[in-house]
Structure 1
Amino acid sequence: MAYQNAQLDEEKVFKDPVHSYVHVRDQVIWDLIGTREFQRLRRIKQLGTTFITFHGAEHSRFNHSLGVYEIIRRILENFTDRLQWNSEQRLLCLTAALLHDLGHGPYSHCFEKVFDLDHENFTKQIILGDTEVNQILTKVNPDFPKKVAEVINKTYHDKLIVSLISSQIDADRMDYLQRDAYYTGVSYGHFDMARILRVMRPLDDKIVIKSSGMHAVEDYIMSRYQMYWQVYFHPVSRSAEVLLSKILQRVKELHNDTYQFQKEPTHFYSFFTGEIKLEDYIKLDETIMMYYFQTWVDEKDSILSDLCYRFVNRKLFKYTNFHIKESMGDLFQLKQLFKQVGINPDYYLEVDSSSDLPYDFYRPGEEEERLPIYLQMENGELKELSEASEIVESISGKRRTDHKLYYPADRIKKLPDSQEKQQIKALLGMK
């Protein structure tokens, strides 16, 4: 039997708290799970710094990736024998689902921002480069790694396959909403996924939803909206992320200034230069970063030491609402006052912004084209979701943005009494 069609002698299952079980019968999928690059995802948290706010949020990219694979597996089971589904694309869909987050780095989005990286680029490098993952994909077909990378990169010619993994109602979102809700302990992310999977249909170059499933989709859209504002954008988690970015910023600056570290950041050298070798990227995970943070608590540089102490021991910055248009003058004044009292504003004063667009219909020419969700009516006609649902129409195209100003309240309180201290407290609304 050809490798791409090879089946395990006995089905393997992973016990999963969200989907009950993750089922694996394909030899290719089983072999990919066992690679060092995929096993590395056990050491990358799905929600970055969110565990500092919701202590249960310790789950990894590994179990999320298995979850996305399992959802796709169930969708394709429902697609069996449907006229507009090409069953020869099954393994490609399963593989892309499993590997879609392969290139995420430690504390993903914060890490990417400081070092100007793109995890999707590293996902592509791992799939196409000299890796265990690439060796397995190439055994399927020499062209197969390229196809998998294109599906994940949203450039594959068959947009139906792309939409299963990346759209406004895809397997990726359906897994992370439920999984993140489960591990954070909140109720917002729950929706009737079984119902949605039953009413999904392949049609031409997209997935459509039978109109009878509209209410389940409404629930899904609102779950996503609530999860973003109650969990993903939680200001305490964002405070930890601000600290993390400041640590990495400080380390990079000290390295460029030829500072003599007591514990040299050897794992970060290629990141400082921007000439990152794939092997260096794969070797850096969150356990290693936390080791450095704990070690740098004892560094002679007072800023790096303090920031690391804060992150390791959850001594976070406080925050206040910040109005960009109205408060820029106050921010400039605060920076000057911070300097006057001996607090470096580059590391202890930060505006952080959160923004989300919960659902949108197709708007030609926009940088980020959002494929709308289509309902298939009883007469076969397609209707864009917000045209049929008043609930979705009410939030469609409406971007919500929030700005917070983060600062070290404990350090400000310890300052000796002075006019500058009183001005700082007044500008920040501190009591």
Structure 2
Amino acid sequence: MKPRTKIQLKIWGLYQELSPVSKEQKQFAYDKILDHVGFRTKKGIHCLDCGDFWLDTSKLKKATCPHCRQKLKIETTRKKMFNQMKHMVILDVIGDFQIARTIRIESKHKAGFNVDRSAHEIYQHWFSENDKPHIIAGFRNSFFNNDSYSGDLEIRLQDNAHSYHNAPDAVYPKYKVKPIYKKLGFKGNLHWVNPYSFFTKIENNNRAETLLKSNQPELFWAELTRSGRGIHRYWNSIKIAIRNKYKVKDSIMWYDYLDLLSKMGKDLRSPKYVCPKNLKKEHDYYVNKVKIQEKKTADELRIKRMRENQIKYEEMKKAFFGISFASGDLTVKVLETVQEFQEQGEIHRHCVFTNEYFKKKESLIMAAMVNGQPVETVEVSLKNFEIVQSRGLSNKASEYNKDIINLVNKNMKVLKSRVDQVAV
């Protein structure tokens, strides 16, 4: 859009004074930011920068191309193509403005061909002390978090400046920043934080400033991009890490590790715990410890509930305890414990336990066995003394189903004789 306000006209005038992205800046991006890869086949290696191929049967993960002398990271693969897209930020100061220019670097690689590379400016953030950030950008198309830019750079809506948020892979080393940012700890690296977040949040975030000055880039990144991920809860632990010159290399795992220590009741101000030599090893150790503790707690709770349920079950159905019917090898008996409900559910793979049939006042649950082996679970209604269901493995009727139903129906009067003792 065309600049309209005084500040927009001023910015647009200063923008005209900016030099385009130079050959030197592009070359730095190509050399230092893009990955340089070689694809290994059974016979040799393809350099994806210059397209050269040479015989090599070693298993080295790094090599130098004999043609272009580029140091390569070697991948063993059948792939023939490889594409990249990365971002570089050029920092500059004009007048009262701190400028962050985001450059998109793209490359297309194909075995046997020279690499096709490009670098173009996609947007600029303009920061000042007396106004919200302004944005100069190309036309942006968003599709599932993949932004594409086209057309010339223009003044865009100021309220949308925050939505231009590609995290840079590097800052061009010949930069200019206002003294305030040097004072706050900037030393040539945004630490994976997009320019908008960095320059708008660092001045008002004392913790982020401390982390930046203390050389804790991972924690700094987490603070500005992941809402701290625990920085407020664990600030004392962070100060212990800083005091002991312990550098956190994986903020997400470290915060998870502190969560685990907290669950285990460990001292979060002790360097012994806060500054592990092998974070992954200690993290995995306490993951296992917490699992064991949670299982123990769950088992204790389960046992407690079983006892409580047993007391209630006895109050409802004790009058029926001891009842059993038999006919030849077939026996049907009333379940007397909640544990028996669980066993029936596990044996037959049905829901008599998980759906808590032991809490049903109007139902009586019985187990049918042949030669002592469970075959079905029977539910009898204490309201009309009819069999509601009789099910075996996976809720299906067994071959003894009819015999079980006949045996229970034949002895239903025994159940009726006890019903007066139960409040249904």
* TM-score, normalising length: structure 2: 0.20
| Structure with more helix by fraction | 1
Larger Rg: 2
| Structure with more strand by fraction | 2
Choose between structure 1 and 2 for higher RCO, CA contacts under 8 A separated by at least 6 residues.
1
* TM-score, normalising length: structure 1: 0.19
